[in-house]
Structure 1
Amino acid sequence: MNFRFDHNNINVLDLEKSLAFYEEALGLKEVRRKVAADESFILVYLGDGVSAHTLELTWLRDWKEPYNLGDNEFHLALKVDDFEAAHALHEKMGCICFENKAMGIYFINDPDEYWIEIIPTR
């Protein structure tokens, strides 16, 4: 029996805003979409164009409140080949929420306040 990663899921309040953020901030693009027959939810899968792993954004029609992320101790992590350019982009976007210069990493937050770790390719 072998397991392999397929996708991670996060729920989003404003699907279009989230799609724009993930494309601008991380270059992730929509690879597939599922709309419920009654349009009560939309699932959008984003890919990096390199790996098979995707990020599933779930939008729920009837959900109107920001999601409770608890202590927000979970996060996504992406490696980037040009750390300085990525940092400059994210600084310009105003989405850097935490930096650990000693470790050489930083975090950005998306429109729903999920944290995403940015790691230089070493």
Structure 2
Amino acid sequence: MTDRFGRYRFGLDHFALLVRDVEASLAFYRDVMGFAPIQRSGSANVAWLAIGGGDAIHLIQGDFGETQVTKDVHVAVSTADFDVFVADITARGIVFTDWPGNPGVIGVHRNGFRQIYVQDPDEYWIEINDHRPPACG
């Protein structure tokens, strides 16, 4: 089955991040981002969390080695509760920036949606926005 966006109809299943300390990353994604842990058996150095809509993040502890993290390589999530999220992280003392890196500034994308960027314990950048793309199909 295909759709107007490409040859096949895909949806995000999960993405995986290499992390230095799976417990620290788990705490961030659970407590700050609000993602729900997924019960699983297997390696103690791996954690899965549900993002919503059937999507998930897999955190895999390993040798970070020469890994370089820049804002150009980031994960973006959208929320209808954008203002509540910004108020929550502000109250927690978590620094956010706009795309250029101005602390505490909410950016506005050229397409009109608002966005901020935060960093997780491994300094991966996460974009949080209130973008609502049209339904596919």
| Smaller-chain TM-score bracket | 0.7 to 0.9
Q: Report which of the two has the higher share of strand.
A: 1
The reply to whether residue 101 of structure 1 matches residue 107 of structure 2 is yes
Aligned length: 114
Partner of 2:83: 84
Partner of 2:67: 68
C-alpha separation in 1, matches of 2:42 and 2:18: 15
C-alpha separation in 2, matches of 1:111 and 1:78: 17
Q: Which 5+ residue runs of structure 1 have no aligned equivalent?
A: none
C-alpha separation in 2, matches of 1:66 and 1:96: 26
Residue identity over aligned pairs, in percent, reads 28
RMSD of the TM alignment (CA)? Answer: 2.4
Structure 1 length normalisation: TM-score? 0.76
CA contact (8 A) 1:66 1:112 kept: no
Displacement of 1:11: 1.0
Partner of 2:36: 29
**Cα distance, 1:86–1:66 mapped onto 2, change above 3 Å:** farther
Displacement of 1:84: 1.4
* Bigger Rg over Cα: 2
Structure 2 length normalisation: TM-score? 0.69
Displacement of 1:117: 0.6
Measured against aligned partners, the alpha-carbon deviations of 1:58-104 in whole angstroms (never above 9, x if no partner) come to 013xx3x6762243421111111221111112223343342252332
Residue number among 42, 46, 64 corresponding to 1:43 in the alignment: 46
**Cα distance, 1:4–1:81 mapped onto 2, change above 3 Å:** closer
SS in structure 2 at match of 1:22? helix
C-alpha separation in 1, matches of 2:108 and 2:24: 32
Displacement of 1:121: 5.0
Q: Which 5+ residue runs of structure 2 have no aligned equivalent?
A: 2-7, 99-105, 133-137
C-alpha separation in 1, matches of 2:22 and 2:76: 21
Partner of 2:59: 57
